[in-house]
Amino acid sequence: MPHLADDLSALLGPDRVSILDADLAAHATDKWFASSTPQVVVHAQCAQDVVQTLRYASTNGIPVTPQGARVGYVGGCVPARGGIALSLLRMNRILEVNPADGIAVVEPGVITADLQQAARAQGWFYPPDPASLKECSLGGNIATNAGGPRCLKYGVTRHYVLGLEAVLADGSILTAGGRCHKNKTGFDLVGLMVGSEGMLGIVTQATLRLIPHPPTRAMLSAGFRSFAEVAEAVQRILNSGFLPSALEIADKFTLRAAREYLGESVTPQGDAHLLVEIDGHEDSVKNELALLVRLIRSLGCLELEEALGETACERFWKLRREFSYSLRNTGLIKLNEDIVVPRSRLVDLVDFAEQLQQQHGFPVACFGHAGDGNIHVNIMVPTMDDPPIRARAEAALDELFRQIIAWGGAITGEHGVGIAKARWWHEAVPPSTHQTHIHLKTALDPQGILNPGKFLG
């Protein structure tokens, strides 16, 4: 495609088109292991740039891969078939934060934490909180239906998208939903676009739901003897009428790595850790905290610490974030799989992870969002560059995913399918679900130019 960059420069202006080696290399990959260099990078600055790019691409049959901040975990924004990498990061304006309507209107390149701060400055809250929130874009969050610890109480990205503007493969603009918090006019096209991993349309604007910011937060951090005890604690908390904003657990391997990295004194005692967060008005938070302390003590925890207020809670979240770095500090590579199991399977999952460890010789660390059964299972491998080791790691992953599917779980709760999980796609969904995906894809993108080379081929 020798004229591709010249044609696009003529259409959009040279400042929006790049074929610099460094730019092409940077836009070839995300945080996963796949890499594929695009022919050209387009840095869209407005919806019309996206429209023009897609009109040109559909006329000439050129693949287009939308990209946000490229911190995905499944190779979703990797331009697997080359062509155009279409970056939305320059479209980063927060167009409106409107407490009266409980909405924000944003461009797709806004970084998630920036919107949270802008809403917070007016006493409002945008709850979806992927751990990558200081780096990832709202467009990427929408395309992957991102989640995080607070989704137990507040829901995932889908629950906050009221309206969307998206450019379809032929360059036409779809407007779906709007500023209303309820809207049942026609099919749920917003829901169709959310989580579509850049394969049905390119999000150029979103109207997001904001809710009042809870004035106070409190947290509990508890060490337990065993994972079975911590899993029981999760069930007891929920069965006792509490709906925490977060309910996180970590296993023995994770805690051992944390002890090595952070030291004994900072890391909770025992072989399993529980973190509970609640929020609301100060009086009710204090009352609820006291009740939770009583409940968790009665379950036989080894130690229990409390935190009230933002600063004190941040100390516990810092510890939770350090778990990831502690695992990295082992010198091993983390194959982080965001699987989901029905919550009653948490103990089975950790037992199965131990079995995998013994069978394949790789340590396996489990931690994550226990409240919704979304546990990050990290298979720790020395390298992915050595073919025999990679083959062993993939065999372990095959077993993990087979078991998850057999339990009625999901192969991804947050990160998406992308390239990383494409090989389990057909096992994960029934043929009718796959066929419906193909019908929708064919209707909206008949030439298959939008983000090809992923789980639909």
Ligand X SMILES: Cc1cc2nc3c(=O)[nH]c(=O)nc-3n(C[C@H](O)[C@H](O)[C@H](O)COP(=O)(O)OP(=O)(O)OC[C@H]3O[C@@H](n4cnc5c(N)ncnc54)[C@H](O)[C@@H]3O)c2cc1C
Q: Which residues bind ligand X (CB under 6 A)?
A: 30-31, 65-73, 76-77, 88, 108, 130-132, 136-137, 139-141, 143-144, 146-148, 197-198, 202-203, 414-415, 451
What is the CA 92 to chain-centroid distance, rounded?
19
Q: How far apart are CA 259 and CA 239, in angstroms?
A: 32
Reported as type and span, the H/E element at residue 310 is helix 310-329
Shortest Cβ 44–ligand X spacing (Å)? 9
**Nearer CB in complex with ligand X: 202/292:** 202
If the CB atoms of residues 289 and 450 are measured against ligand X, the closer one turns out to be: 450
* Shortest separation between residue 76's beta carbon and ligand X, angstroms: 3
- Comparing CB distances to ligand X, the nearer of 197 and 248 is 197
Q: Which is nearer to ligand X, 262 or 293 (CB)?
A: 262
Minimum distance, C-beta of residue 307 to ligand X, in the bound complex (Å):
21
Half-sphere exposure of 289 (CA within 13 A, CB side): 24
Would you say 144 or 254 has its CB closer to ligand X?
A: 144
CB atoms within 10 A of CB 158: 17
Q: How far is CA 134 from CA 117, 156, 216, in A?
A: 11, 17, 22
Residue nearest to ligand X (CB): 140
Beta-carbon-side half-sphere exposure of residue 155 (alpha carbons within 13 Å): 10
Rounded distance between C-alpha atoms, residue 157 and residue 170, angstroms: 27
Q: Element (H or E) spanning 207, and its range?
A: strand 202-209
Residues 411-440: b if buried by 16+ CB within 10 A, e if exposed: bbbbbbbbbbbbebbeebbeeeeeeebeee
Q: Which is nearer to ligand X, 247 or 301 (by Cβ)?
A: 247
- Rounded Cα distance between 38 and 422, Å, is 21
| Of 95 and 391, CB closest to ligand X | 95
CA angle 308, 260, 378 (to 5 degrees): 85
DSSP string, 326-361: HHHHTTSEEEEEEEE--GGGHHHHHHHHHHHHHHH-
Q: Which is nearer to ligand X, 88 or 428 (CB)?
A: 88
Our CB check for ligand X shows the closer of 31 and 225 to be: 31
**CB of 204 vs ligand X, minimal distance in Å:** 7
Beta strands in 44-141, from DSSP E residues, in sequence order? 64-67, 84-87, 94-98, 103-106, 124-125
Closest contact distance (angstroms) between CB of 419 and ligand X is 10
In 13-93, where does DSSP find H-type helix?
21-26, 47-60
CB of 140 to ligand X, least distance (A): 2
Q: How far is the CB of 89 from ligand X (least distance, A)?
A: 8
Q: Which residues lie closer than 8 Å to 72 by C-beta, 6 or more apart?
A: 30, 31, 32, 140, 144, 415, 416, 418
Quickly tell me which residue has 């906050």 as its tokens. Answer: 160
**Rg over CA atoms, the chain:** 23
Give me the least distance between CB of 289 and ligand X, in Å please.
25
CB of 225 to ligand X, least distance (A): 28
Question: Nearest approach, Cβ of 188 to ligand X (angstroms)?
Answer: 17
- For ligand X, give the closer residue by CB, 363 or 453: 453
- Burial, 321: exposed, middle or buried (Cβ in 10 Å; 0-12, 13-18, 19+)? exposed
Identity of the residue, 134 or 439, whose beta carbon is nearer to ligand X in the bound complex: 134
Rounded to a whole number of angstroms, the minimum distance from the CB of residue 220 to ligand X is: 21
